[in-house]
C-alpha cells in the first residue's frame, strides 16, 4: 500500500520557486505587513507634502524633491519584516527541517527576499500614484522610468538581504526587529528629505557618502531631470556590494549554524 | 553495511562540555530502536548528528550506508526527521504544508496534492486541511508534523520525543501510526522519556546516560538485568501486607517465605512482580554500574 522508498530530490529551480511561493503567501497573510505596505506610503507622502513640505520648501515644490526619499524609506520599512520572518523560521524549527532535506535550503531566505521585493514594489507604485495626485510632475522618459525602477529594485534587494542577515543572527523575532531599527534610521541621515549641504559639517561627510544618498540622487535625477553626476555609479556599486556582502553573510551564518547546540 | 544505522566511537563536546562520550550502536534495517535517557543525556545531540544537522568531533557514523559528514546529501535523501518541537509552518494551512514539503521532496505538483490528501485522511486532519496551522491544537500539530515527514517514503525515520506533551488519545493514535510504519519496513530511530512508549514500540531499547549507552536490549532483557523482582503478599481484601525484593533464585525465595510465614496470616496470597519499566529506568540511570545484554 505504501509507495516504495523514495530518494528523489527536486531541481534547484523548483526549490526556489516553492520557497518564493511560500514567502509571498506569508506576506499576503500577514495583514499588519500588508496594511503597513499600503497605508504607510500614503501617510508619509501626505505628511511630507502637506505638513513638513511648506516649511522645508516655501515655494511649494517640495513634493518634487521628496518622492525618491519616501520610496526608499518605505522600502526600508517593508524590508524590515524580512528580518522578523527569517528569525521566526529559525526559532520555530522550520529551517532546521528544511536543512535535513536534500535541497538548497538557503532558498527559504531567497523566498522571503523575493516576497519583500514584491511587497515593496506595491508600496512603490502607491507612493508614486499618491505623489502624482498631490502634484508630483515627473519629467522622465520611458527609459528613465525603467532606469529608476531598476535602481529602486536594486536598493530593495540590498536592504532586504541585509535584513535577512540580521534575522539570521538576531536569535529571536523581537531582537531582529530591534536591530533592524538602526537601518530604518539611515534614510533620515541622507539627502532624502533635505540636501546634505544643509546639515552640520560633521554630519555631511557621512550623509553624503552613505549608500542611500547616491541611490536617492540617482532616482531623483532620472525622474525630475536634475543632474546625476557620478551618483549612479556609486549607487549601483553600493547596492551590488551590499547584496553580495549580505548574501555571503547569510550563507555563512546559515550553514555555520550546524555544529552548534 | 547491512545496517540502517551504524555508530562507533562517537564523541561530541560543546565548549569543553562532553555531551557524547564514545557512543557505539547498530540498528538493523527495518527495526524500531528507542533511545531512552533523562534530560541532558545527549539524546537530541545524537539525533542531530544522525540527521546531519550537527557534525561529530570523532567517530564514524553511517546512516543508510552513507557517512554523515562526507556523504551528507546522500544521507539527507534517505532520512526524514521529526524534531522534538513541531516544525510546521503556522501561516500556511495543513494541506499547504504537506504540498510544499512534497514538492520540496521532488514530487510533481499533482502527485504532492494526492499524497497530501491521503496523509490528511490517515492522520485524521481532513476537516482541518484548509485551516491555518496557527489554529491547530497541540495534538493536531504533532500529527501534521509526522504526516509531513512521511510525504515521501524515506527508508530511515528519526523521531525526537514524538509524543511529548500529547494527551493519551493522541499518543495512542501516533503509536499506531509508528507501528504501521515499522510494518511497512521503515527503520525507525526514536528518542523518548516514556518507558511505556519504548516498551510498546521498540524492538531494541538503549539507555543513554552521561553520553554513553549503558544498556541495550529488549524490554524483558532490561528488566532481567536489573534483578529487582519483588515478592508481594496481599491479604483477602487485596491489601498489601508485605513487599520484599528478591534476586529471583529458589534459595532466596524460600528464605523470604520462611521468614514471612511465621509473621503473617495463612490466607495471605503471594505473587512475584517483575520490575516496572520505571524502576528499570531509574535503576539504570541512577547507578554507576554498567550492564549490557
Residue A216 C-alpha cell reads as 536617492
- Supply φ then ψ for residue A208, to 5 degrees: -75, -25
Q: Where are the beta strands (DSSP E) in A65-144?
A: none
- Fold for domain B3-223? Rossmann fold (3.40.50)
Q: Is B14 on the interface with A (CB under 8 A)?
A: yes
Residue A101 C-alpha cell reads as 532535506
Domain residue ranges of chain B, discontinuous segments joined by +? 3-223, 229-274
CB-CB contact of B89 with B104 (8 Å): no
- Supply φ then ψ for residue B273, to 5 degrees: -105, 135
Q: Is B108 on the interface with A (CB under 8 A)?
A: no
Q: Is B163 on the interface with A (CB under 8 A)?
A: no
Q: Is the pLDDT of residue B104 over 80?
A: yes
| Partners of B55 in beta bridges | none
Q: Is the pLDDT of residue A177 over 90?
A: no
Interface probe with A: pick from B87, B96, B185, most Cβ of A within 10 Å: B87
Mean pLDDT for the stretch of residues A229-257: 92
Of A8, A103, A261, the CB nearest to B152: A8
Residue that has been written with the C-alpha cell 553624503 in this structure = A208
- Set of chain A residues whose Cβ sits within 8 Å of the Cβ of B48: 261
CB-CB contact of B54 with A261 (8 Å): yes
- pLDDT 10s digits, B150-184: 898 899 999 998 888 778 887 888 888 889 889 98
Residue B274 C-alpha cell reads as 517483575
Q: Is B53 on the interface with A (CB under 8 A)?
A: yes
Complex ipTM > 0.90: no
Of B77, B87, B90, the CB nearest to A96: B87
More confidently predicted of A256 and A157 = A157
- pLDDT 10s digits, B82-98: 887 778 999 999 999 99
Helix, strand, coil percent content, chain B, rounded in steps of 5: 40, 30, 35
A239 CA: distance to closest CA in chain B (Å): 31
Q: Which of A238, A216, A222, A213 is closest to A70 using CA atoms?
A: A216
Of A4, A8, A100, the CB nearest to B52: A100
Residue that has been written with the C-alpha cell 514530487 in this structure = B107
pLDDT at site A252: 92
- Set of chain B residues whose Cβ sits within 8 Å of the Cβ of A8: 77, 105-107, 152
Instruction: Write down the pTM of the prediction.
Output: 0.83
- pLDDT 10s digits, A112-154: 999 999 999 998 999 899 999 988 989 889 999 999 999 999 9
Q: Is B153 on the interface with A (CB under 8 A)?
A: yes
Q: How many CB atoms lie within 10 A of CB B227?
A: 14
Q: Which letter, b or e, does each residue of B9-43 get, where b requires 16 or more Cβ atoms within 10 Å of its Cβ?
A: ebebeeeeeebbeebebbbeeebbbbbbbeeebbb
Q: How far apart are CA A38 and CA A25, in angstroms?
A: 17
- pLDDT 10s digits, B13-71: 998 899 999 999 999 999 999 998 888 888 989 999 999 989 999 999 999 999 999 99
Q: Which of B105, B202, B218 is closest to A3 using CA atoms?
A: B105
Of A3, A94, A101, the CB nearest to B89: A94
Of A93, A103, A258, the CB nearest to B87: A93
- Name residues whose C-beta falls within 8 Å of residue A49's C-beta, 6 or more positions apart in sequence: A62, A63, A66, A134, A135
Q: A5–B154: do the CB atoms touch at under 8 Å?
A: yes
Amino acid at each position: 500500500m505504501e509507495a516504495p522508498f523514495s530518494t528523489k530530490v527536486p531541481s534547484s529551480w523548483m526549490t526556489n520557486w516553492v520557497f518564493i511561493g511560500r514567502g509571498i503567501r506569508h506576506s499576503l497573510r500577514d495583514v499588519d505587513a500588508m496594511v503597513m505596505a499600503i497605508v504607510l506610503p500614503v501617510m508619509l507622502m501626505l505628511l511630507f507634502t502637506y505638513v513638513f513640505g511648506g516649511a522645508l520648501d516655501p515655494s511649494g515644490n517640495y513634493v518634487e524633491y521628496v518622492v525618491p526619499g519616501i520610496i526608499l524609506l518605505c522600502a526600508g520599512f517593508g524590508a524590515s519584516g524580512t528580518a522578523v520572518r527569517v528569525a521566526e523560521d529559525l526559532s520555530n524549527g522550520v529551517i532546521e527541517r528544511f536543512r535535513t532535506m536534500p535541497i538548497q535550503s538557503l532558498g527559504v531566505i531567497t523566498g522571503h527576499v523575493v516576497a519583500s521585493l514584491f511587497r515593496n514594489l506595491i508600496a512603490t507604485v502607491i507612493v508614486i500614484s499618491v505623489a502624482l495626485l498631490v502634484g508630483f510632475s515627473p519629467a522622465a522618459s520611458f527609459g528613465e522610468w525603467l532606469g529608476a525602477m531598476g535602481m529602486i529594485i536594486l536598493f530593495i534587494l540590498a536592504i532586504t538581504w541585509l535584513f535577512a542577515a540580521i534575522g539570521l543572527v538576531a536569535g529571536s523575532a523581537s531582537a531582529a526587529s530591534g536591530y533592524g531599527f538602526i537601518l530604518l534610521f539611515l534614510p533620515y541621515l541622507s539627502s532624502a528629505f533635505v540636501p546634505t549641504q544643509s546639515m552640520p559639517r560633521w554630519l555631511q561627510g557621512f550623509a553624503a557618502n552613505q549608500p542611500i544618498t547616491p541611490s536617492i540622487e540617482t532616482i531623483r535625477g532620472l525622474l525630475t531631470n536634475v543632474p546625476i553626476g557620478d551618483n549612479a555609479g556609486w549607487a549601483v556599486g553600493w547596492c551590488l556590494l551590499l547584496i553580495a556582502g549580505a548574501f555571503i553573510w547569510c550563507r555563512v551564518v546559515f550553514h555555520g549554524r550546524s555544529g552548534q547546540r | 553495511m547491512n545496517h540502517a544505522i551504524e555508530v562507533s566511537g562517537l564523541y561530541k563536546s560543546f565548549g569543553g562540555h562532553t555531551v557524547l562520550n564514545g557512543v557505539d550502536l547498530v540498528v538493523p534495517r527495518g527495526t524500531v530502536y528507542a533511545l531512552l535517557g533523562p534530560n541532558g543525556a545527549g539524546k537530541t545531540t545524537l539525533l542531530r548528528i544522525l540527521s546531519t544537522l550537527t557534525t561529530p568531533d570523532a567517530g564514524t557514523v553511517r546512516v543508510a550506508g552513507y557517512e554523515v559528514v562526507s556523504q551528507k546529501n546522500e544521507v539527507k535523501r534517505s532520512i526524514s526527521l521529526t524534531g522534538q518541537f513541531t516544525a510546521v509552518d503556522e501561516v500556511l494551512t495543513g494541506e499547504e504544508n504537506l504540498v510544499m514539503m512534497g514538492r520540496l521532496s521532488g514530487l510533481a505538483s499533482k502527485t504532492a496534492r494526492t499524497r497530501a490528501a491521503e496523509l490528511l485522511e490517515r492522520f485524521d486532519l481532513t476537516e482541518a486541511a484548509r485551516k491555518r496551522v496557527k489554529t491547530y491544537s497541540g495534538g493536531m500539530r504533532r500529527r501534521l508534523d509526522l504526516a509531513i515527514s512521511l510525504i515521501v517514503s524515506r527508508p530511515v525515520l528519526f523521531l525526537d520525543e514524538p509524543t511529548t506533551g500529547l494527551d493519551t488519545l493522541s499518543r495512542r493514535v501516533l503509536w499506531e501510526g509508528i507501528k504501521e510504519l515499522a510494518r511497512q519496513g521503515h527503520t525507525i530511530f526514536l528518542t523518548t522519556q516514556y518507558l511505556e512508549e519504548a516498551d510498546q514500540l521498540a524492538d531494541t531499547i538503549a539507555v543513554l546516560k552521561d553520553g554513553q549507552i549503558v544498556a541495550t536490549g529488549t524490554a524483558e532483557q532490561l528488566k532481567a538485568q536489573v534483578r529487582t523482582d519483588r515478592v508481594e503478599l496481599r491479604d483477602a481484601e487485596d491489601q498489601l501486607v508485605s513487599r520484599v525484593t528478591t534476586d529471583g533464585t529458589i534459595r532466596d525465595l524460600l528464605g523470604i517465605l520462611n521468614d514471612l510465614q511465621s509473621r503473617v496470616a495463612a490466607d495471605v496470597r503471594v505473587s512475584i512482580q517483575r520490575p516496572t519499566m520505571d524502576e528499570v529506568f531509574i535503576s539504570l540511570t541512577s547507578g554507576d554500574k554498567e550492564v549490557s545484554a
